[in-house]
Structure 1
Amino acid sequence: MTGEISIGGVYLPSVLLLAVAAVILTGIATRLLAFAGAYRVVTYRPLVDLALFILILGLLALLTGPSA
């Protein structure tokens, strides 16, 4: 993962792009969990959504990291 990515001459931090991708994937995952009824066993849904976002963001960062 490099520090910055140029999009149309504008340099954006790669973490920002990963966070946007994680928000989109988290939205898809929460809709699937709601459709499956998994939120019925959860006490505080926003905390689960935040944890899911952090897990997806970490997974994206690991997958796009430098290969050593």
Structure 2
Amino acid sequence: MIGEVSIGGVFLPSLLVLAIAALAIVVLLSRLLALVGAYRLVAYRPLVDVALFLLILGLLASLTTTFGLHP
């Protein structure tokens, strides 16, 4: 069953696990950007948050295939 992660006997799609990890990273990064004041430079904050999520999710998926893990 390549592409699934077993957590306590429950099989979850690996993309779901990567998306949850990406969401946690984006929340931390968003708070950091708000603290620094970087959101003053953008016109629409939710669009930046979605773009960050997609970039980090793609990066995590790329890293898992690089290290031999199959998403």
**TM > 0.5 between the two?**
yes
TM-score by length of 2: 0.88
**Aligned positions, number:** 67
Query: Which residue of structure 2 aligns with residue 13 of structure 1?
Result: 13
TM-score by length of 1: 0.92
Offset at residue 45 of structure 1 (A): 0.3
Regions of 4+ moved over 3 Å: none
Q: Unaligned regions of 5+ residues in structure 2, if any?
A: none
Query: Which residue of structure 2 aligns with residue 34 of structure 1?
Result: 34
CA distance in 1, matches of 2:19, 2:29: 15
What CA RMSD, in Å, does the superposition of the two structures yield over aligned residues?
1.3
Offset at residue 66 of structure 1 (A): 4.9
CA 56–41 in structure 1, closer or farther in 2 if over 3 Å, else same: same
Offset at residue 65 of structure 1 (A): 1.1
Q: Unaligned regions of 5+ residues in structure 1, if any?
A: none
3-state SS, counterpart of residue 12 of structure 1: strand
Structure 1 counterpart of 2:56, which letter? I
Structure 1 counterpart of 2:57, which letter? L
Structure 2 counterpart of 1:7, which letter? I
Q: Deviations over 1:1-40 (max 9, x none)?
A: x410111111000000000000000000000100110000
